[in-house]
Amino acid sequence: MALDRSAGRLARCIKCTRHDRILPIRTFTTSAASRLEVQETQTSSDAPPPPATADAPKPKLRDPNTVSTRAAEQQLIQHQRITPVGSRRRRAAIASTSNIPFSELPYQCFQEARALLQADRKEKLEVIRAQRERIERLKAKDVAPQDEAHKEKRLVDMRRKLEEQKILADINDPVVKRKFEDGEGDLTKPIYRLLADRQWRSYRRTLLLQRITQMNVVPDVLPAIDSVISTTLSFAGKRVQHGDFVDSLMSEQAPIMQIQPYDKGKRLYTVVVVNPDVPNVEKDAFDYRCHFLASNIEISPIDTRVHLGRLSEESQVILPWLPAYGQKGAPYQRMSIFVLEQPKSDDPSSGSSHQTLDVAAVKETGRYTQRHGFNLRSFVDKHLLKPVGVDLFRTQWDEGTAAVMQRAGIIGWDVEFKRKRVEPLPYRRMDSVRYR
Amino acid sequence: MIKAPSTSLLRAFSPLWRAESVPWVARGCIAQQVHFSTAEQRMARKKGMGPKTDMRITLIRYHLQHPLTPRPLRFSRTRALRHWTIHRAWRLYQNKLRLTRQLELERQYNSMNAACEALRLMDGDGLTQEERSKLGAEIEGSNDMGRLYRIAMKKDDGVRADAVGKGVPIEYARIQTETPPRDGWNSAWTR
């Protein structure tokens, strides 16, 4: 393929004969020979008279992926109204090379490596097939009732080994790596889930745990948490980072959460929003308040979005969304969001693999329907929930808080907290010998 | 008459003595190098005078002394992916080799271990206690149970492959051959 004539700064060897040279090279000298050449081409092009056309000559249609000269880019933008795609170096490379798929690139070492990895993958597939057969055989085997538990344990271990083998088969594949890096990974497949989990754990999870620990969410609300779910929070369409201050008007409506698990299957989660910083003047300490409580939220690795304001009132929501507010004079309030996994169902014949929490029964019992003084530890223990994810945002008094509190019917919008003045201890000067 | 000191060091290092043997492009480099004395050369010199340094040599020296040498390479996306693939394949291959070597060593060790164990339980007639009782031979007679095992475990005598303790390295041993004989030629032999 010919390069554009005035490629300019692009690396190009003038002596290089790999590319077809349709156009004459503009040489350094203007000696007679080259001048003649140029003149000949000009006269040859002038020889046939240009056809008399009434309309303007149509501009060439350019591909936004292959324009590499400034002039061509300008023409693309002006005539076709599209901008070039990618960097100029990339566009020049695409224009000058043919479209070979990545796995067929003619580099010897690369192809040898690919051959080796393909052979290894075949072996792994063989192991996977054999392991699957072993699992089937063990499942079909009849065992005495006292050995049932042992058989179940063996099956669990064999299935875990099978998952590991599945990952080992794909982990060396550059196509899989590229797909994942481009965000096209299918999270129903174990390898993409592993890569996503690894990516989350490498930075964002460390950051989350740092923020949670620094803000003391963990010893205050729950004793400990091992975060295995990644969460993202957004209020009124805007993303909120872990620990960010959220304006009271933005947090008036319930947020949207993306809860991303990294193991397979659908499961049911309970989401709780607890504020551990409610000031209690009599105690001179702080109380808990629950701003939101909902159960039986179905999440899977590909179905992660949940709008906390649009859940079912009868079967999911126990306490609807109460806007986050920090009263005037009080310090900022930490709003911690916990994602709790509901226990697995005991009988395998039921439709879902996880038990539904009986929301009506919880509402009726009334122990956990009180917002003020909500004890999350007791709730978790009572319903055998497992904390798997945590998030945090903060609120404080700002211009809109009073209006938000009034609209939500919360008393105390006109209360201002003031610090009690502590009288200093009397200062008695000691004898002057000490002060030198 | 005091002997003149040796000029070999001077000849080796001084630019004045060695300039003829050096190509003209490297003259500047040599001039930039060592003087006879290791003390700082604090000679006052006019600007523009002094040895003519070659810029190319200076640049090469600067680049070689650069703290980031070798500079980190920057790959394009496909180049990086190809590099990663080759790296994974090479690591896989090396691990397979290591594993096969390890298994082979383990197999050899286990074989030696099993052989020693068999020797330990064997008596002078080559039978273990079990075999003796099965065959009905007398049990009390086997007083040299495991003799060969104890001989094999001795590390401080005789010729050994690894020469631990007081053992003699196996290279000192004489391979059994038909000729020449150990005793040599006996000239005083008579019938």
Query: At A422, which amino acid appears?
Result: V
- Its domain, for residue A250, covers 207-407
A356 and A386 together in one domain:
yes
Extract the tokens encoding A286.
């702080």
Return the pLDDT at B9: 60
Interface test with A, best of B88, B90, B95 (most A CBs within 10 A): B88
pLDDT of residue A408: 96
Question: Considering the domain boundaries, does residue A357 fall inside one?
Answer: yes
**Residues A306, A403: one domain?**
yes
Q: Residue for token digits 């806007």?
A: A323
On whether both A134 and A239 belong to a single domain, the answer is no
**Same domain for A223 and A355:** yes
Query: Where in A242-374 does DSSP place strands (E)?
Result: 256-260, 267-280, 285-299, 305-307, 317-319, 333-341
How close does chain B come to A165, measured CA to CA in Å?
A: 15
Q: Which residues of A touch B78 (CB under 8 A)?
A: 102, 105
* Count of all residues that appear for chain B in the document: 191
Residues of chain A short of pLDDT 70, as ranges, are: 1-57, 347-351, 436
Judgement on whether residues A175 and A261 belong to the same structural domain of the protein = no
The rounded distance, in Å, linking the Cα atoms of A186 and A172 is 17
Q: Coil, strand or helix: which one is A396?
A: coil
A119 in contact with chain B, both atoms CB, cutoff 8 A: no
Q: Give the residue from chain B lying closest to A93, CA to CA.
A: B76
**CB within 8 Å of B155: residues ≥ 6 apart:** B164, B165, B167
Residues A219 and A129 grouped into a single domain: no
Do the Cβ atoms of A375 and A291 come closer than 8 Å? Answer: no
Q: In terms of domains, do A247 and A332 share one?
A: yes
Residue A380 resides in a domain: yes
Does the distance separating the beta carbons of B90 and A113 come in below 8 Å?
A: yes
Q: Do A116 and B89 touch (CB under 8 A)?
A: yes
Q: Supply φ then ψ for residue B168, to 5 degrees.
A: -95, 140
Residues A251 and A218 in one domain: yes
Q: List the single residue in B with minimal CA-CA distance to A115.
A: B89
Which residue from A minimizes the CA distance to B86?
A113
The minimum CA-CA distance between A255 and chain B, rounded to whole Å, is: 38
Domain shared by A132 and A236, yes or no? no
pLDDT tens profile A365-418: 989 999 999 999 999 999 999 999 999 999 999 999 999 999 999 999 999 999
pTM over 0.90, yes/no: no
| The pLDDT of residue A127 | 98
Which residues between 173 and 202 in chain A have a beta carbon less than 8 angstroms from any beta carbon of chain B? 174, 177-178
Smallest CA-to-CA distance from A308 within B157, B68, A172, A299 is with A299
Q: Do A351 and A261 belong together in one domain?
A: yes
Using the beta-carbon criterion (under 8 Å), do A172 and B92 form an inter-chain contact?
A: yes
Asked if A109 is an interface residue toward chain B (Cβ–Cβ < 8 A), one would say yes
Which CATH number is A286's domain given? 3.90.280.10
> Does residue A145 fall inside a structural domain?
yes
Residues of chain B falling short of pLDDT 50: 19
CB of B90 within 8 Å of any CB in chain A?
yes
Q: What is the structure's pLDDT at B16?
A: 55
Residue A232 and residue A178 share a domain? no
Q: Which residue of A109, A116, A178 is in closest CB contact with B92?
A: A116
Interface of B with A in 59-78 (CB under 8 A): 76-78
CA of B89: which chain A residue's CA is closest? A113
Cis peptide before B70 (omega within 30 of 0): yes
Angle in degrees, CA A134, A140, A143, rounded to 5: 105
Residues of chain A contacting B82 with CB distance shorter than 8 Å: 105, 107, 110, 174
- The tokens 């929501």 sit on which residue? A317
A254 and A180 within one domain: no
Q: How far is B84 from chain A (nearest CA, A)?
A: 8
Q: Which of B82, B87, B99, B100 to mutate to test the interface with A (most CBs of A within 10 A)?
A: B82
The interface residues of chain A toward chain B in range 72-101, judged by CB-CB distance below 8 A, are 93
Do the domain assignments include residue A2? no
Whether A198 maps to a domain, the answer reads no
CA separation for the pair A350, A343 (Å, rounded)? 14
Tell me whether residues B92 and A120 touch, CB distance under 8 A: yes
Indicate the Cα dihedral angle B165, B169, B172, B173, nearest 10°.
Answer: 90
Domain count of the fold of chain A: 2
A121 vs chain B: nearest CA distance in angstroms? 11
| pLDDT (0 to 100) of residue B28 | 52
**pLDDT attached to residue A325:** 96
- For residues A263 and A260, give the distance between their C-alpha atoms in angstroms, rounded to a whole number: 9
Interface contact flag, B82 A112, Cβ < 8 Å: no
A26 lies in some domain = no
Give the tens place of pLDDT for each residue, A185-226: 999 999 999 999 999 999 999 999 999 999 999 999 999 999
ipTM for the assembly: 0.76
Residue at A364 is within a domain? yes
Predicted local distance difference test score (pLDDT) of residue A10: 45
- Tell me if A28 is assigned to some domain: no
Last residue of a domain, one of A154, A185, A216: A185
Cβ partners under 8 Å of residue A149, min gap 6: none
